Amino acid sequence: MKKEDRDKRKENTRLLWRFLMGSKRWFIMGILASAVVSLADMVSPQIIRVAIDNAIGGLPPRVPAWAVSLAESLGGFEYLGEHLWIMALGLVIIALIRNAAQYLVGVLNNRGAETLVKTMRDSLFSHIERLPYAWHMKNHTGDLIQRCTSDVENVRRFVSMQLSNVIRIVILIALSVFFMLRMDVRLTLIGLCMVPVILGFTVRFGRKMHAGFEHCDEVEGQVSALVQENLTGVRVVRAFAQERYERDKFIEKDNYYRDLWVEMGRTMARFFSVQDALSGLQVLLVVVFGCVFCVRGSMTSGDLIAFISYNSMLAWPIRRLGRMLIEMSKADVSLARIAYIMNEPAEPASEKALEPPMNGDIVFDHVSFSYEGGSETLHDVSFSVKAGSTLGILGGTGSGKSTLMLLLDKMYLLPDDGGSISVGGIDIKDIDTEYLRRNISMVLQEPFLFSRSIADNIAISSKSISLDRVREASMAASLDESVREFSKGYDTFVGERGVTLSGGQKQRTAIARALVDPAPIMIFDDSLSAVDTETDAKIRGELEKRFGSSTTILISHRLTTLSKADKIIVLDSGRVAEEGSPEELKTAGGIYQKIYEIQSGTAPASGKEADDGR
C-alpha cells in the first residue's frame, strides 16, 4: 500500500473514531456479549465429548481438575452416564446463556448503530452548512445526498454487524485451535493447512472488489445527482417536451450502474464459490483423516466429534473473513466519500470578528475578482454608496452585477490582491461573517422558497415574527391580495422551491421576507423582473417609505425601477463604464442613455444596445 493511501486510511480511521464517540459504550458492551457467545460455543462440544467418552464410554477423564470435581459433586461419571439428562440440561443452560448473550449483541449493536448514524448525519449536515458557497457550487446536491444516506448506511452496517464479529472471530479461532491441539496435533495441522490458502485468496480478491465498490459508489452518486436535477427541474423538462430525452439519459446511466453491480455480483459469486470449495476441502480433510485416526485407535469417538465441531467453528470465521472484507471494502470507500465532505475546511471565520455599526458608507476600492478556473469577472471596480442612499446598478448579462453583491455578503472572498470592500470604514474581512449577513438582506432574481407555508417562508429569519408583521410586509410587497385569494391564506403550502406560486408571487414573497425584518443594508438583485410595472411602482414606493435609513442597492434591467436611485453605476464587461444620477446619465451619451431611449420608445433597439437592455 502506498504511503498516500496509508495516510488517507489513517485519516478515515480517525474520522470514524470521532463519529463513534457517542456510541462506543454500546459497541463495547456488544463486544463483551459477543465474547460470551463465543465462550458458550466453546463449552458445548466439551460437554458432548465428556458425555461420549467418559459418561457413556467409561474412558478415563482427560479434563481439568475443576471439571472432575464438578462431575464428582453430581455423582461421578458413571452416574452421569446413567442420567444423561443432567448433561443434556447443561447443554440447554449453555444454549440459554448463549441465546441471551446473542440477544444482547443485537440490541446493543442496534442501539450503537442508530446512535452512530445520528452522529454522522448531524455532523455532516452541520459541516455542510458551514462550507463555503463556492464549494457548494462545485458539488452536485444529489451526490451529497447519496454520501449522507447510502454511504452513511454502509459505514453503519459494517460497524454494527462486523465490529463485534471481530472479537468473536479472534476468540473462536484462538480457542478452537487451542482445544484442537489438545486433542490431536496432527489433525490440527491438517485442518490448518488450508487456512493460508483461503486467506491469500481472500486478500487478492479483496483488492479487486475495493476498486469495484469505489467505482459503483461514484456512479451511484451520479445517478442520484441526475434524479435530483430532473425532479427539481421537472417544469423545465416538460416545458421543452424533453421527457423522453431525460428518461433515455437516465436509463443509460442507470443501465451502466446496473451493469457495474452485475459484474460485481459475478466477482463476488466467483469469490464465494472458490472460498466455499476451499473451506469444504478443509472440512473433508479433517473428517477423512479423523476417521482414519479413530479406526487406528489413536483418537476417540468423542474427540473426533468435538474436533469436527471446533473445526467447523474455525471454518466459520475463516469464511466470515471474506464477508467482512467485502463489507470493509464498502465501508472504506463510503468513509472516504464522507471524509471528502468532513475534511473540507469550513468557511473561515474573521480573525478580528468585529461587529461595527452597519449604517456607514459602503466602499468598493479597486476590486478585481475571478471565479476559480475562469476569466476575470470584475476588473478594478471602485465606487461608494453613501449611508441611507439608494444605489442602482445596471449592466448586461455577465457584467458582474450579482458578483458584486456576493462579494459584499462574503459568499466569495476577495483575494489578497483583489482590492477591498468596507462598510463604515471597516474592511468586511475584519467583520464577523454571521453578523455581516444578519445585517444584509438580499432578495435574488430567482428566490428560493422552502417547502413550508407562505407565512413560514416570510418569517423565516426569526421565530418571534408575528402573523400581523407578516401581513404588513406582504401588503408592502403587494402580495397580500394574492394570498387572500388562496383557500388557506398564509397557511398555504408553497411546495418545493415554491413550485405552486407564479414567478411574480415568488419574488414578492421573497421581498416580503426582506421587508418583515429590515436590515441596515438592503439588496434587490433584479428581484422585480417578474412583476408588472404597476406592481413595480407600488413596491418601490413602499421601499422608499420603509428604508429611508437603510442603504439600498437595486440591480435591474428596468430603468423605471432605478429611476428613484440617488446614484447609478453602469457595468460593462466587469468594469465601471458610467456613474452618476439618473438625470445625468440620460444625457451622457453612454450605455445608460441608449437603454433609456430604447425603453422609453424614443429610439430603435438593435444589436448590442438590445442586449445591454435585457
pLDDT digits (tens, 9 = 90+) for 378-401: 999 999 999 988 899 998 888 888
Long-range contacts of 93-99 (CB under 8 A, 24+ apart): 94/40, 94/43, 94/44, 94/47, 95/40, 95/44, 97/36, 97/40, 98/36, 98/37, 98/40, 98/41
Overall average pLDDT of the 66-87 stretch: 79
Whether the CB-CB separation of 318 and 278 falls below 8 Å is answered with: no
For residue 496, the model assigns a pLDDT of 67
Work out the pLDDT band at 452, boundaries 50, 70, 90: confident
Within 10 angstroms of residue 371's Cβ, the number of other Cβ atoms is: 12
Q: At what angle do helices 84-129 and 3-19 cross, to 10 degrees?
A: 100
pLDDT at 75 over 50: yes
pLDDT at 166 over 80: no
CB under 8 Å to 399, separation ≥6 — which residues? 571, 572, 573, 574
Which residues contact residue 452 at a Cβ distance below 8 angstroms, ignoring those fewer than 6 apart? 460, 493, 494
C-alpha 517: how far from chain center: 32
Write out the residue limits of the CATH 1.20.1560.10 domain(s) in the chain.
3-342
The fraction of the chain above a pLDDT of 70, given in percent, is: 93
Give the per-residue pLDDT at 499: 66
List all residues 6 or more positions away from 559 whose beta carbon is below 8 Å from its beta carbon: 394, 582, 592, 595, 596, 599
Of the ranges 5-14, 57-66, 461-470, the best mean pLDDT one? 461-470
Looking at residue 119, what is its pLDDT? 92
Average pLDDT over residues 22-51: 84
Query: Whole-angstrom Cα distance, residue 360 to residue 436?
Result: 13
Name 363's bridge partners. 384, 422
Is the distance from CB of 469 to CB of 503 less than 8 angstroms?
Answer: no
156 contacts 121 by C-beta, under 8 angstroms: no
More confident residue, 92 or 600: 92
pLDDT for position 3? 67
| pLDDT above 50: residue 610 | no
CA distance 253 to 222: 8
- The DSSP H or E segment spanning 186 is helix 185-192
Q: Give just the sign of the alpha carbon dihedral 283, 288, 294, 297.
A: negative
Q: What is the pLDDT of residue 612?
A: 46
Which whole number is the average pLDDT over 340-348?
Answer: 90
pLDDT at 434 over 80: yes
The 10s digit of each residue's pLDDT in 87-136 is 888 889 999 999 999 899 889 988 998 999 999 999 999 999 999 888 88
pLDDT at 51 (0 to 100) = 80
Q: What is the pLDDT of residue 547?
A: 57
| Predicted pLDDT of residue 529 | 67
Q: Are the beta carbons of 223 and 257 closer than 8 angstroms?
A: yes
pLDDT at residue 234 greater than cutoff 70: yes
Q: For position 313, what pLDDT does the model report?
A: 73
- Does residue 300 register a pLDDT over 70? yes
| CATH code given to domain 446-518 | 3.40.50.300
**pLDDT category of residue 221 using cuts at 50, 70 and 90:** confident
Give the pLDDT mean for 275-303: 83
Please tell me the distance from the alpha carbon of residue 33 to that of residue 112, in angstroms, as a whole number: 14
Mean pLDDT for all residues in the chain = 83
**Better-predicted residue by pLDDT, 460 or 605:** 460
Cell (9 digits) for 400:
458582474
Superfamily of domain 3-342: ABC transporter type 1, transmembrane domain (1.20.1560.10)
pLDDT of 408 > 60? The answer is: yes
The per-residue pLDDT for 549 is: 75
* Separation of alpha carbons 149 and 144, rounded Å: 9
Three-state DSSP state, 234: helix
Which of 281-295, 426-440, 459-473 is modeled with the greatest confidence?
426-440
Amino acid of residue 58: G
> Of 402-411, 440-449, 545-554, where does the model show the most confidence?
402-411
CA distance 351 to 349: 6
- Decide if 569 contacts 576 (C-beta within 8 A): yes
Distance from the Cα of residue 261 to its chain's centroid = 22
Only one residue has cell 496509508, namely 6
Q: Full-prediction pTM beyond 0.85?
A: no
Where in the sequence of the chain do the CATH 3.40.50.300 domains occur?
446-518
What one-letter code names the amino acid at 573?
Answer: S
Average pLDDT rounded to a whole number, residues 352-365:
92
Determine the Cα–Cα distance for residues 355 and 364; give it in Å rounded to an integer. Answer: 19
Q: What percent of the chain has pLDDT over 90?
A: 17
- Tell whether the model's pLDDT for residue 537 goes beyond 80: no
pLDDT of residue 608: 45
> With 90 as the cut, is the pLDDT of residue 527 above it?
no
Count Cβ atoms within 10 A of the Cβ of residue 203 and give its class: 0-12 exposed, 13-18 middle, 19 or more buried.
exposed
Report how far residue 130's alpha carbon sits from residue 128's, in angstroms, rounded to the nearest whole number: 5
